[in-house]
Amino acid sequence: MARKALVVKQQKLQKIKEKYRKLLSEKKDLTWEEKYKLYKKYKWQTRYYNRCQICGRVRGYIREFWICRVCFRKYAREGVLMGVRKASW
């Protein structure tokens, strides 16, 4: 399990990211200077991590399912994930 403080911090950053993404999509006729000012307000762009939706783990993240490898393996074995089956060579 990830530390709860990090998960909460990540959720706050996600809300800020969505807010500024919405602002930029609404105002398409901005000059590069105005866009720069908006991006300057939107700090910590690179600090966003993909986290598992179930446990909050950062490492071993599988984008297609939005979960980490540990949860993926667990739910694939239980048959919860549709279209996933064990590989046989």
Whether 51 shows a pLDDT value over 90: the answer reads no
Between 13-17, 69-73, 74-78, the lowest mean confidence (pLDDT) is in 13-17
> What would the pLDDT profile of 8-45 be if each residue is shown by its tens digit?
887 887 787 787 778 777 777 777 777 777 666 665 55
User: Dihedrals φ, ψ of 62, to 5°?
Assistant: -110, 110
Mean pLDDT for the stretch of residues 67-86: 90
Per DSSP, the three-state class of 67 is: strand
Chain CA centroid to CA 14, Å:
7
pTM listed for this prediction? 0.56
Residue 81 contacts by C-beta under 8 Å, 6 or more apart in sequence?
65, 72, 75
On average, the pLDDT of the chain sits at 80
